[in-house]
């Protein structure tokens, strides 16, 4: 059942062209993720999103766009700062 939900979500994400629908699917993905790891074949990556812009709104939808392509990302949002500074920061 879970597997069917993941497959259906992936198909829907590839077909969704309208922003409201895309956001709804992104929320659905967040709920599925709360239930465990993806039940479809995925390549796993870690992705940090940096910058001084607000990035939370991107993370959920980027997660969906990547799942549509068969990629499962652990998305990290380091603290708000200039991208240049974070790229140069030896601790980042």
How far from the centroid of its chain's Cα atoms is residue 9's Cα? 13
DSSP state letter for 90: T
- Candidates 27, 35, 37, 52: give the one binding other proteins (CB under 8 A): 52
Q: Is 51 in the site for other proteins (CB under 8 A)?
A: yes
Is the distance from CB of 33 to CB of 10 less than 8 angstroms? no
Question: Distance (Å, rounded) from C-alpha 24 to C-alpha 8?
Answer: 14
Q: Is 14 in the site for other proteins (CB under 8 A)?
A: yes
Show contacts with other proteins in window 59-78 (CB under 8 A).
61-62, 64-66, 68-71
Question: Distance (Å, rounded) from C-alpha 69 to C-alpha 65?
Answer: 7
Interacting residues with other proteins (CB under 8 A): 7, 11, 14-17, 19, 22-23, 41, 43, 45, 47-55, 57-58, 61-62, 64-66, 68-71, 82-84, 86-88, 90, 92
């Amino acid at each position: 059942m879970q597997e069917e939900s993941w497959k259906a979500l992936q198909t829907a994400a590839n077909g969704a062209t309208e922003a409201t629908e895309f956001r709804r699917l992104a929320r659905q993905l967040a709920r599925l993720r709360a239930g465990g790891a993806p039940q479809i074949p995925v390549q796993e990556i870690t992705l940090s999103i940096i910058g001084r812009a607000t990035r939370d709104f991107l993370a959920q939808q980027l997660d969906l766009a990547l799942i549509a392509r068969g990629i499962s990302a652990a998305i990290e949002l380091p603290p708000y700062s200039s991208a240049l500074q974070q790229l140069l920061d030896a601790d980042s």
